[in-house]
Chains A and B, each alone.
Chain A
């Protein structure tokens, strides 16, 4: 089912790319364990892939995003700060990798090899992030919790339930924190923070209230959870794998082997 995001939708509604969205796509129907294993395999493969293979993986990713009806525009908007990080990584690579010089500004030299390497690293990082986003937006945090617990059960001395609960709460809180950042930034823009040109001053003024509100909201959430008898021992979602999961996993494994070899 697709959700309405009308005028009534609050800030949280804008953050659907970073949190679970209901749907009936292939990814939605797969068992969370299949998706988690596939994500790990694909992420590893992406880091080993050359440009042609990255192009193939990008095509697969785009098809998956279309199939699961992920909003491309808001996805790009949600990752706008990540693009700054990519730009930083790209610049560092471009300036520091030796090779045939393309631009020479005395102090700064940009090499052809640097641009190629920087572009490749950024492409890989972007793919890993987008594959992870596809996973997060098609999987309920409660299912992720159940899967983490399922994977950790064979390991003795690891508190599987506690780790799983912590992970699911982190997933739950990512959109909340983003919401607070946006609220606080809006409130500060309304009071002309943009007139202050010092980025450190602006960052401090943003971070302090965001951190304070995050802790307050976490406190409220803990109270609400406690009031509803929360404990680590609770009924988890049923994890059921079908033929579809095995087929999907087989295809992913084959794809990864082909690319790595």
Chain B
């Protein structure tokens, strides 16, 4: 069953620049998709269409059959977005308050908000920091906090924009474990990155974007050798001609 249907999606910015150009895509429920591409290839612009932060200049985006432009609030509840800069997402004065921000916007009652926040913090392992100031967390913890903020809204699809950028090795491992755990619990995951090596071993599908278009779409092992043509570094294992291993091993 397709949870996301994208038909002929194009987006032009106010200055006339074409951000994305004629994308057609179907994404199945429960898939983990990695979108690779160099800076400026249109990855973030594409992601922003999935929860209505940008609306198409042409084409349609359907999430579970709902057209994004027609019911943005419902779509934003279904599609959680974790931004590249975790600091810019922090709106709460404490970790608890930050995670509660989404459920509060959904006008849930206080006991339900409390339940959702506790559950989200537990699932990302931040329960003990509930009363801590978010800005005092490490990079990996801040990224997990962003994920908790999304989980508290109970989305079925989670999109990550460059989830590993600016993270040290332990931070990358924490976030990677979290993403895999979310995938295993049935969420549909879409990740954009220019550094595909960290996640591609877990991907069901790999897309390569270039100049706003999807240039390659398929099983990772079929595409990995061609990524460097589009400015995306192939994993070391691929260069050495062996199978790509998970960073978690």
Interface residues of A (CB under 8 A from B): 1, 3-5, 8-10, 12-13, 16, 19-22, 140-142, 172, 217, 220-221, 223-231, 233-236, 238
Contacts and interface: CB of A to CB of B under 8 A. Distances in A.
Given A19-B93, A217-B88, A235-B108, A228 B136 contact: no
A221 B136 contact: no
A172 B133 contact: no
Contact of A8 (B80, B101, B131, B138): B138
Nearest to B79: A227
A223 B83 contact: yes
Given A1-B131, A3-B136, A229 B153 contact: yes
A130 to B, nearest CB: 20
The 9 tightest CB contacts between A and B, nearest first, are: A12-B135, A220-B88, A224-B89, A229-B105, A228-B102, A20-B93, A235-B104, A227-B81, A234-B104
B131 A220 contact: no
B135 A13 contact: yes
B84 to A, nearest CB: 9
A217 B88 CA distance: 7
B133 A13 contact: yes
Contact of B91 (A20, A22, A224): A224
Nearest to B102: A228
A12 B133 contact: yes
Contacts of B150: 228
A221 B73 CA distance: 18
B93 A9 contact: no
Chain B: interface size category: 35 or more
B91 A221 contact: yes
Given A3-B132, A220-B83, A235-B107, 12 more contacts: A3-B136, A5-B136, A22-B131, A140-B94, A172-B91, A223-B53, A223-B88, A224-B88, A225-B91, A230-B105, A231-B105, A234-B104
Given A3-B136, A22-B94, A234-B104, A224 B83 contact: yes
A238 B133 CA distance: 21
B246 to A, nearest CB: 28
Nearest to A13: B136
Interface string B105-121: 11111100100000000
Contacts of A141: 93
Contacts of B88: 217, 220-221, 223-224
Interface string B124-168: 000000011101101000000000011001000000000000000
Contacts of B9: none
A140 B92 CA distance: 9
Contact of B110 (A19, A221, A224, A235): A235
Contact of B53 (A21, A227, A233, A238): A227
A220 B85 contact: yes
A22 to B, nearest CB: 5
Nearest to A172: B91
B233 to A, nearest CB: 27
B51 interface: yes
A153 B136 CA distance: 36
Nearest to A19: B93
A140 B134 CA distance: 14
Contacts of B77: 229
